Amino acid sequence: MRLDALAARLGCALRGDGAVEVTRVAGLEQAGPGEITFLANPRYAEKLGATRASAVIVRPEVETAQPALLTDNPYLAFARALEVLHPQPKPAPGVHPAACVDPSATLGEGVHVGAYAVIGAGCSVGPCSVIHPHVVLYPGVTVGADCMLHSGAQVREGCRLGDRVVLQNNAVIGADGFGFARDAQGRYNKIPQVGIVVLEDDVEVGALTAIDRAALAETRIGRGTKLDNLVQIGHSVTVGEDTVMAAQVGIAGSTKVGRQVTLAGQVGVAGHLTIGDGAIATGQTGVSSSVEAGAVVSGTPVQKSREWRRSSLLFARLPELFARLKAVEKKLGG
Amino acid sequence: MRLDALAARLGCALRGDGAVEVTRVAGLEQAGPGEITFLANPRYAEKLGATRASAVIVRPEVETAQPALLTDNPYLAFARALEVLHPQPKPAPGVHPAACVDPSATLGEGVHVGAYAVIGAGCSVGPCSVIHPHVVLYPGVTVGADCMLHSGAQVREGCRLGDRVVLQNNAVIGADGFGFARDAQGRYNKIPQVGIVVLEDDVEVGALTAIDRAALAETRIGRGTKLDNLVQIGHSVTVGEDTVMAAQVGIAGSTKVGRQVTLAGQVGVAGHLTIGDGAIATGQTGVSSSVEAGAVVSGTPVQKSREWRRSSLLFARLPELFARLKAVEKKLGG
Amino acid sequence: MRLDALAARLGCALRGDGAVEVTRVAGLEQAGPGEITFLANPRYAEKLGATRASAVIVRPEVETAQPALLTDNPYLAFARALEVLHPQPKPAPGVHPAACVDPSATLGEGVHVGAYAVIGAGCSVGPCSVIHPHVVLYPGVTVGADCMLHSGAQVREGCRLGDRVVLQNNAVIGADGFGFARDAQGRYNKIPQVGIVVLEDDVEVGALTAIDRAALAETRIGRGTKLDNLVQIGHSVTVGEDTVMAAQVGIAGSTKVGRQVTLAGQVGVAGHLTIGDGAIATGQTGVSSSVEAGAVVSGTPVQKSREWRRSSLLFARLPELFARLKAVEKKLGG
């Protein structure tokens, strides 16, 4: 594709020779002739001079030897360039003969259903959604339009997925929440989990991630929220819009996570808490009390990140501290 | 259902008008007319006055405006009310034509086998068990009566499940333990894992939880123990009865976990340790040494919880501590 | 099997009566007549006297009452004895009639494909590999010779597996990396992940482990590396040869892990870091900065293990420290 055509597709300004041909997207260091690269993080600006790419995507103020596409958000333009130059093949519409679709299920136009997929009674799948092989929809599941459900994803009875939802492989939506009532003998009796899970539009759920159904009402993941792999969402949790959780995060039951929250890898959040809008927790934080909107937190038990970092530096100096205290005590004739 | 009939079914005393009709169970705040709610945690007592439920389940000493079911264990009665008012549909007995059941396998009466399930040679499934679509039983697996194996659950060769065992979706029972012997070149050679996994009666295994087979003998989970999602149980681990592990707990190989133990979310336990009966570990605890029966522990490395909390509070005050020490040193003409 | 025959098979020297019959391998404490056991860890030497095994595998300098196989690496000989005495049944070659193999896929000689497996267009499976039931290979996947892919494993489009690769159940290879570009409205836009995953020869991937495909090029796991269950490998990560990661480890995107590295359970590693060859991280370490070759590290934030252990001991003594400081201040007329 000519660079000027790509500029038009991405809505970027063009600087330099628009007749250059670019056919692939590549990283700054890996790119070669015929490829376009990007500079999103100013930290890597020094690598820009050495790239062998035929063109680059940069902010307008960045100078380049190559022809360039100019935008205030090079990372977003990079994402769109990938869509244009590396279109992902989409399985053709149709139901594989070795799929098992209940006669009472309804499939929208252009739906693809792969081999050995199971679509239960009363399910509904919106137009142009892709149900890969080995996906199981229990009875009464609704899936919106333009969804992509990868192989091995399991969606339990009655759960509802909005439009453009993506489930990566082996994700589990709507398994029973972890609820048991202890009897006089100390035995755990299962509490039937009769609620559902609702995934709003544009939610993406990572591979091997579990979102449990509510005991009574619903577990809900807000529009545009993205969950990485191996994440655990307990029953009756609600998550706001445009929140991200990195891999192996766990949220215990009934906690409310706000909008535009960022939880880094392996963060754990206890049950019945509130995480305010825009809050950020760094990796492995153990959130045992509610977090205010906009707060940046770390540590177990959780603290403001700035304070946690300060204390952590001093933690490493504890041997020195004890030695100094001992010296003081000695001076005092202790 | 009339409230007096429900009282009889649950074995609760009735207070007030037994002719009230209740058709659903709901939370204190969500409940409306025709619904029954419950108060298990005295912390939420103030919400009781505002509930619009038609009836409530409470301890006998709790006063209510509505007709009430009286019991010493409202949470357990709530669980049973859910069973009565929200019966979960159970798939009808029979083997789906698109399932693959080895001729040498034996199925008890009333067993359901869903589409694309695979039941290997020599397997045995007890009466009334439900094998959902896409469950795989490798050869030689035995499953007891009244079990519920959800779609995507995998049970490896020779493993044994008791009665009323529940496997949530994509759980993996009996994958190879993580055992390798290093040779002179530093390469890891696989140690064949020839043991099995035994799940005793009434065990529940969460979605995406892995319980590895033993190298030589067996990994065993005791009667009534409940494991949440994304839990890892290493090879040759034994877990006692009526223990609970929250999501993302990991237990390394050959550790012995006692009865009525509680491990909160993301707890990690090293290998070859013993966790005594009734012990409790709070979230994210890193258990690197054995824990006595009844102990409550926290932190990495693990401490008594009370001590860990005290030290954690002081950790947050380390900057103050260093400043005070400096002041002392200055006074001493340091 | 006679002990002298086993000695020959394992390349061990024989001490004592070679005519003894051994038919099984068992642990020191569990072994009985007709069984062979081993002593690898000198810690357990005292148990050797009490074993009822008919023969033992030990280092040459260890004295035994029983006939013995002598080797400098008893653990490795134990692994090989298991292979000899407990041969794992391998499914017979052939494609199950209820498997779905694309006509354009190529299968080597002796390949087994189980029920409901899906092998996509253009896939290639090398000789003698076993594709268990319910494995899905998306289009364009290549699998080497003598691989073992367990049920529920999912391999996404274009990924490449070397020879003798083992995937445990429900492992996911090549799901989309977690990459999103935020737009002016704060919404996350998916970055197409057009790279692949490469697993080199002799890699083993645990149950429910996820290895994400790269955004642009490849995520690569080096020869002989072993990953336990529920591990997360982010996009564009590279891992060297003969590295081991215990269960629930998570590695964020673009990090480079060296050769012969050992990461214990629940370790988290941030993105864009380098972990040097031979480094070791103890359980739950939070690696937030690069680690030198050969270093042994612990803690969050990460420290040298020796220093972390020292500080951790003093952490437990913080209440004492504050008390002592107070006493000093008092003495000084504070």
* Alpha-carbon distance B172 to nearest alpha carbon in chain C (angstroms): 7
Cα–Cα distance measured from residue C248 to residue C265, given in angstroms and rounded to the nearest whole number: 6
Question: Residue A313: is its pLDDT beyond 80?
Answer: yes
Tokens of C254: 């673009």
* CB proximity C250 to A under 8 Å: yes
Homologous superfamily of domain range B94-307: Hexapeptide repeat proteins (2.160.10.10)
Cα–Cα distance measured from residue B110 to residue B81, given in angstroms and rounded to the nearest whole number: 26
* Alpha-carbon distance C34 to nearest alpha carbon in chain B (angstroms): 15
Contact C170 B192 (CB under 8 A): no
Q: How many CB atoms lie within 10 A of CB B123?
A: 24
**Quick one: pLDDT at residue A46?**
85
* CB proximity C208 to B under 8 Å: yes
**Quick one: pLDDT at residue A89?**
85
Q: Which residue in chain C is spatially nearest to B287 when comparing CA positions?
A: C283
* CB proximity C8 to B under 8 Å: no
Q: In what order do the strands lie in the sheet with A160-161?
A: A106-107, A124-125, A142-143, A160-161, A196-199, A218-221, A238-239, A256-257, A274-275
**Quick one: pLDDT at residue C41?**
85
Condensed to tens digits (0 to 9), the pLDDT of residues A21-75 reads 999 999 999 999 999 999 988 888 888 989 999 999 999 999 999 999 999 999 9
Contacts of A182 in chain B (CB under 8 A): 75-76
**Quick one: pLDDT at residue A43?**
83
* CB proximity A115 to B under 8 Å: no
Contact C88 B194 (CB under 8 A): yes
Taking residues A145-170, report their average pLDDT.
Answer: 98
DSSP assignment letter at C168 = -
pLDDT band with cut points at 50, 70 and 90 for residue A334: low
Contacts of C328 in chain B (CB under 8 A): 328
Residue C48 burial (C-beta neighbours within 10 Å; 0-12, 13-18, 19+): buried
**Quick one: pLDDT at residue B333?**
80
Question: Roughly how many angstroms between the first and final C-alpha of chain B, as a whole number?
Answer: 81
pLDDT band with cut points at 50, 70 and 90 for residue A163: very high
Condensed to tens digits (0 to 9), the pLDDT of residues B142-163 reads 999 999 999 999 999 999 999 9
Cα–Cα distance measured from residue C114 to residue C110, given in angstroms and rounded to the nearest whole number: 13
DSSP assignment letter at A288 = -
Q: Which residue in chain B is spatially nearest to C77 when comparing CA positions?
A: B181
Give me the residue spans of the domains in chain B. Answer: 3-85, 94-307
Using CB atoms, pick whichever of A27, A242, A332 lies closest to residue C328. A332
Amino acid at A255: T
Q: Which chains touch A (3 or more CB pairs under 8 A)?
A: B, C
Contact C27 B268 (CB under 8 A): no
Contact C283 B284 (CB under 8 A): no
pTM of the model as a whole: 0.97
Condensed to tens digits (0 to 9), the pLDDT of residues A67-77 reads 999 999 999 99
DSSP assignment letter at B46 = G
**Which amino acids of B are annotated catalytic?**
235
A112 is catalytic: no
Condensed to tens digits (0 to 9), the pLDDT of residues A246-261 reads 999 999 999 999 999 9
- Is CATH 3.90.1640.30 what the domain over A94-308 is classified as, yes or no? no
Tokens of C208: 């429910």
- Residue that the structure tokens 């959902």 belong to: B132
Mean pLDDT of all residues in chain A? 96
DSSP codes of every residue in C217-261: SEEEE-TT-EE-TT-EE-TT-EE-TT-EE-TT-EE-TT-EE-TT-
Long-range pairs, A312-316, Cβ under 8 A, ≥24? A312/C301, A314/B318, A314/B319, A314/B321, A314/B322, A315/B315, A315/B318, A315/C311, A315/C315, A316/C303, A316/C307, A316/C311
Taking residues C72-76, report their average pLDDT.
Answer: 96
Contact A316 C325 (CB under 8 A): no
* CB proximity A304 to C under 8 Å: no
Tokens of A298: 């770390």
User: For C94-306, CATH number?
Assistant: 2.160.10.10
Contact B234 C247 (CB under 8 A): yes
Contact B284 A307 (CB under 8 A): no
Q: What residue ranges of chain B have pLDDT lower than 70?
A: 334
Contact A82 C191 (CB under 8 A): yes
Q: What proportion of chain B, given as a percentage, has pLDDT over 90?
A: 94
Cα–Cα distance measured from residue C73 to residue B182, given in angstroms and rounded to the nearest whole number: 9
**Quick one: pLDDT at residue C99?**
97
Question: Residue C88: is its pLDDT beyond 90?
Answer: no
* CB proximity B188 to A under 8 Å: no
**Quick one: pLDDT at residue B42?**
82
**Quick one: pLDDT at residue C289?**
97
Using CB atoms, pick whichever of C88, C96, C151 lies closest to residue B192. C88
**Quick one: pLDDT at residue B272?**
96
Condensed to tens digits (0 to 9), the pLDDT of residues C2-23 reads 999 999 999 999 999 999 999 9
Q: In what order do the strands lie in the sheet with B280-281?
A: B94-95, B112-113, B130-131, B148-149, B166-167, B204-205, B226-227, B244-245, B262-263, B280-281, B296-298, B303-304
Pairing of strands A262-263, A100-101: unpaired
Tokens of B265: 């979310």
**Quick one: pLDDT at residue B154?**
98
Specify the CATH architecture of the domain B3-85. 3-Layer(aba) Sandwich (3.40)
